[in-house]
Amino acid sequence: MKYLVTGASGFIGSHLVDLLIKRGHKVCALSREFKLEYLRNDNLNLIKSSILEPDELDKIIIEYEPDIVFHLAAQSSPGSSLASPAYTFRVNTIGTINLLESLKKLDKIPRVIFASSSAVYGPSLSNKAINEEYSIGPSSAYGLSKYNMEQIAEMYIKQNNMDIVIARPFFLIGPRKVDDVCSAFARSIVAIELGHRSYIEVGNLEIVRDFLDVLDGIEALYLIANKGITGESYNICSGVGYSLRSVLDLFKKQSKYILNEKIDASKIRSIDELIRIGDPGKIKMLGWQPRREIKTTLAEVLQFWRGQEF
């Protein structure tokens, strides 16, 4: 099977490429830049390109002729979308249209898996887990751009009979992620261990999030590619809520150092909800189950940052 992965050098994309290669598939990994060292493999083709360059995208796709496409390329930071909403929409919507227009030119149009986000859902008003029927109501430019991607998918399904399935990841965590609360905690702990600082900057530790190991997440994406129904959306989540306090406490158990905390007002954002937990019931019906424990994932995140230069 021939796979095309956009955003292949990103956190989720890089892990997904690893999985596909290990399972013997051919992979065209597309990204604006490659910061990671991929294992040399005859089935792996790394191509530097942007989904904002339609002519170049046409050439790559027509030459490669993928069977399945994972569309992960995006401006994926909710915080950055507040500062740069126009760029966020350009990448996430125009880039998506460019990709689908290129795929339309193939004799056999491949199945496409869109990586959307739990950010498309409206605010969580209770402890009840969010399923795929929950009301749409994004609170950031990032979330709105992801929902626009889903609407674009619906249009291409109706007008061009394309085979597109939507994945809505919640909060995937693991080594290689650099811009979330878990990586921020881990980096601070390593900085304290190295003597570079004396405390961990924290925001509201009462916030509860549905964290899931990225390796479980990419297994879910792979399953959706093989068993997902065209036009359907699937949450990728654990169904379990973890407070940031409990996450930080688990991190602290991995270090022998005294780890003091200090409130940083800049880390307390108006768009942050107190509780956000997903319902994975729909994807479990396809045969998926999360397998990795959060304490193991957090230990791996901390070990990853211990291996980085500071």
pLDDT level of residue 39 (50, 70, 90 thresholds): low
- pLDDT for 117 equals 97
Query: Helix 294-306 to helix 181-193 angle, to the nearest 10 degrees?
Result: 50
For range 186-196, the mean pLDDT: 96
CATH class belonging to 173-209+240-277+292-306: alpha beta
Range of weakest confidence among 11-20, 142-151, 160-169, 271-280: 271-280
Task: For domain 2-172+213-236, give its CATH number from 3.60.20.30, 3.40.50.720, 3.30.70.360, 1.20.1270.10.
Answer: 3.40.50.720
The domains of the chain are located at 2-172+213-236, 173-209+240-277+292-306
Residues 6+ apart with CB under 8 A from 266: none
Distance CA(75)–CA(92), nearest Å, equals 6
Inform me whether the pLDDT recorded for 61 exceeds 90.
yes
Query: Helix 141-160 to helix 95-104 angle, to the nearest 10 degrees?
Result: 20
For 198-237, how does the pLDDT look when each residue is reduced to its tens digit (9 = 90+)?
Answer: 999 999 999 999 999 999 999 999 999 999 999 999 999 9
For 121-151, how does the pLDDT look when each residue is reduced to its tens digit (9 = 90+)?
Answer: 999 877 889 999 999 999 889 999 999 999 9
Residue type, 75: Q
* pTM tops 0.85: yes
